[in-house]
Amino acid sequence: MQVIFAQERTVSGRVSDNAGMPLPGVSVLLKGTKTGTQTDFDGKYSIKASSSQTLVFSYLGVKTQEITAQSHAIMLEMNMAGDAQELSNKNK
């Protein structure tokens, strides 16, 4: 009998806005779990994930985005687009 475990590795990257400015405090969660982290002052994050897991990026006023951790590059960079609808819903 052979048991195969999903290989977990560290995925790190940088989150910025449309102007390229770093976004500190962005929540980075492993979808379907309570495991997560936040971006630091420079918009950088690091989290352990298997290649089959999905990273969920959320931040007040911008669209929540999901990226599969199976990217060939371990370093992920993403720009987050603003979402006026989400911002107006948060203020109610």
SS (H, E, C) the chain: CCCCCCCEEEEEEEEEECCCCECCCCEEEECCCCCEEECCCCCEEEEEEECCCEEEEEECCEEEEEEECCCCCCEEEEEECECHHHHHHHCC
Query: What residues make up the domain containing 24?
Result: 9-87
The predicted pLDDT at position 26 comes to 93
Is there a domain that residue 80 lies in? yes
Is there a domain that residue 45 lies in? yes
The predicted pLDDT at position 20 comes to 83
Domain count, the chain: 1
Please report which confidence band the pLDDT of residue 88 belongs to, taking 50, 70 and 90 as the band edges: very low
Is there a domain that residue 1 lies in? no
Average pLDDT over residues 73-91: 53
Q: Which of 3-12, 49-58, 75-84 has the highest mean pLDDT?
A: 49-58
Mean of per-residue pLDDT scores for the chain: 78
Average pLDDT over residues 26-42: 95
Indicate which CATH number applies to the domain containing 34.
2.60.40.1120
Average pLDDT over residues 51-76: 78
Is there a domain that residue 60 lies in? yes
